[in-house]
Amino acid sequence: MAAEKVLVLCATGKVGRNVCRALLEAGFTVYGTTRTSPDRLRQQGVTPIVCDYTKAEDLDRALAESEAKKLFVISDYFGAAGRSVSREVEQGRRAFAAAKRAGVQHLIFMSVADAECFDDKTEHIKAKVQLEADLRASGLTYSILRPCAFFENLDDASNWNPLKRGVVKFLSDQPIKYCSTYDIGRAAAILFQDPQQWAGRSLDVISWQGDLAAVARALEVVSGEPVRPALSMPIWLRRLLLNDLHHMCLYFERDKGPKGEPEAFRQIVPDALTAEGWFRFHNRYADAEPIVRL
Ligand SMILES: NC(=O)c1ccc[n+]([C@@H]2O[C@H](COP(=O)([O-])OP(=O)(O)OC[C@H]3O[C@@H](n4cnc5c(N)ncnc54)[C@H](OP(=O)(O)O)[C@@H]3O)[C@@H](O)[C@H]2O)c1
């Protein structure tokens, strides 16, 4: 039997590339959208569809060209939506409408764990709550993945946090629930393989919890070198410069963050990555040097 086709939107991003990787490993034929980097996708074994995933006509073409009846939808407040909640909602709705027109049989939407629980100043999560509601009312067969903080934030040069030897930085030094984007993909593969079981359901993607000191200890174990935990900026500056992300961090710190537990996610993905597991999986500093020394 031919492998089932999946179309991944936003396939070159931090989430998209690892979702593609996990879906390929699970045996799917994977198509991915990109405006600019088809070669990167090709090298990964993904068939690129050059288009802008925020445009209705491009989505229609991507679904027609791929003939995929499974669709992984990511919406993006900071990038594609230009920090506009209403634009992110419009873009998500456009993807759902295109899925309906194309007869998609199972759509997975990536939201955020506990999206409805963040305070009113956490702008970048608001669209997720609306889009989840839209999806429930859409008539599509859908599932929702709700990840917590990505380990990928620990090495994110585009957001001024490149991972360097001997130090690990984050916006909070408090206990935080983390997951890897690879495990979002591994969960997506499981859901796509069993739509009847997962139709209309959501799954929190949470694979590890620890404070920044525990993150640093994990990197020490993997790298064999001393690692210092450090806040990426003082809390007063975080409040001043990053109001939205500051309020997200407050939910993690003051309210203890998403209610889901790693043990629950491990029932679905038994070898979901811990901090040590993620540093091994990622295995590079921002300057491309490997973390694991032979
Ligand atoms: N960071 C976290 O801890 C965390 C936790 C939970 C959920 N999330 C969610 O993750 C999502 C972000 O995903 P990500 O980290 O994978 O994003 P990302 O790495 O910034 O990638 C976004 C992709 O969107 C495309 N893109 C960027 N600007 C665009 C534009 N103006 N028009 C059309 N396409 C554009 C780019 O692809 P091309 O250039 O190839 O077209 C890019 O690969 C957000 O919804 C966020 O809420 C993040």
The DSSP secondary-structure symbol of 88 reads: H
Q: How far is the CA of 84 from the centre of ligand 1 (A)?
A: 14
Please compute the mean of the pLDDT values over residues 164-180 and round it to a whole number: 97
- What pLDDT, on a 0 to 100 scale, did the predictor assign at position 201? 98
Give tens-digit pLDDT for 121-162: 999 999 999 999 999 999 999 999 999 999 999 999 999 999
Please compute the mean of the pLDDT values over residues 61-74 and round it to a whole number: 98
> Please, which residues bridge with residue 7 across strands?
31, 71
Give the residue whose CA is nearest to atom 31 of ligand 1. Answer: 80
Q: Enumerate residues lining ligand 1, CB below 6 A.
A: 10, 12-16, 34-37, 52-54, 74-77, 79-80, 112, 124, 147, 149-150, 153
- What pLDDT, on a 0 to 100 scale, did the predictor assign at position 255? 85
Residue boundaries of the structural domains of the chain: 5-212+242-282
CA-CA-CA-CA torsion sign (123, 124, 129, 131) = positive
Give tens-digit pLDDT for 6-50: 999 999 999 999 999 999 999 999 999 999 999 999 999 999 999
Q: What is the best residue among 8, 9, 15, 91 to mutate for testing ligand 1's pocket, by most ligand atoms within 8 Å of CB?
A: 15
Q: What is the best residue among 10, 110, 155 to mutate for testing ligand 1's pocket, by most ligand atoms within 8 Å of CB?
A: 10
Task: Report residue 63: phi and psi, to 5°.
Answer: -70, -35
Q: How far is the CA of 182 from the centre of ligand 1 (A)?
A: 15
Give the residue whose CA is nearest to atom 15 of ligand 1. Answer: 14
Q: How far is the CA of 87 from the centre of ligand 1 (A)?
A: 14
**CA pair distance 217, 213, nearest whole angstrom:** 6
Average per-residue pLDDT in the chain? 97
Task: Looking at the CA of residue 15, tell me the nearest atom of ligand 1.
Answer: 16
Nearest CA to 26 out of 146, 192, 144, 143 is that of: 192
Give the residue whose CA is nearest to atom 35 of ligand 1. Answer: 80
**260 — alpha (psi -120 to 50), left (phi > 0) or beta?**
beta
Q: How far is the CA of 79 from the centre of ligand 1 (A)?
A: 6
Give tens-digit pLDDT for 258-269: 999 999 999 999
Cα three-residue angle 11-196-105, rounded to 5 degrees: 45
| pTM of full prediction above 0.85 | yes
CA-CA-CA-CA torsion sign (252, 257, 263, 264) = negative
**CA pair distance 179, 26, nearest whole angstrom:** 19
Task: Looking at the CA of residue 35, tell me the nearest atom of ligand 1.
Answer: 41
Task: Looking at the CA of residue 82, tell me the nearest atom of ligand 1.
Answer: 31
- What pLDDT, on a 0 to 100 scale, did the predictor assign at position 48? 98
Question: With bands split at pLDDT 50, 70 and 90, how would you rate the model's confidence at 1?
Answer: low
Give the residue whose CA is nearest to atom 42 of ligand 1. Answer: 13
Question: What fold characterizes domain 5-212+242-282?
Answer: Rossmann fold (3.40.50)
Residue 62 near residue 7 (C-beta atoms within 8 A): yes
129 burial level (CB within 10 Å; 0-12, 13-18, 19+): middle
The yes-or-no verdict on residue 2 having pLDDT over 80 is no
Give tens-digit pLDDT for 190-209: 999 999 999 999 999 999 99
Q: How far is the CA of 255 from the centre of ligand 1 (A)?
A: 26
Among residues of the chain, what percentage have pLDDT more than 90?
A: 97
Residue 56 near residue 93 (C-beta atoms within 8 A): no
Nearest CA to 291 out of 170, 180, 166, 151 is that of: 166
CA-CA-CA-CA torsion sign (83, 76, 273, 153) = negative
**CA pair distance 281, 219, nearest whole angstrom:** 12
Give the residue whose CA is nearest to atom 47 of ligand 1. Answer: 76
Give the residue whose CA is nearest to atom 40 of ligand 1. Answer: 34
Please compute the mean of the pLDDT values over residues 233-249 and round it to a whole number: 96
Spell out a b/e string for 25-56, using b for 16 or more CB atoms within 10 Å of the CB, else e. ebebbbbbbbeeebeebeebebbbbebebbee
Among residues of the chain, what percentage have pLDDT more than 70?
A: 100
The yes-or-no verdict on residue 275 having pLDDT over 70 is yes
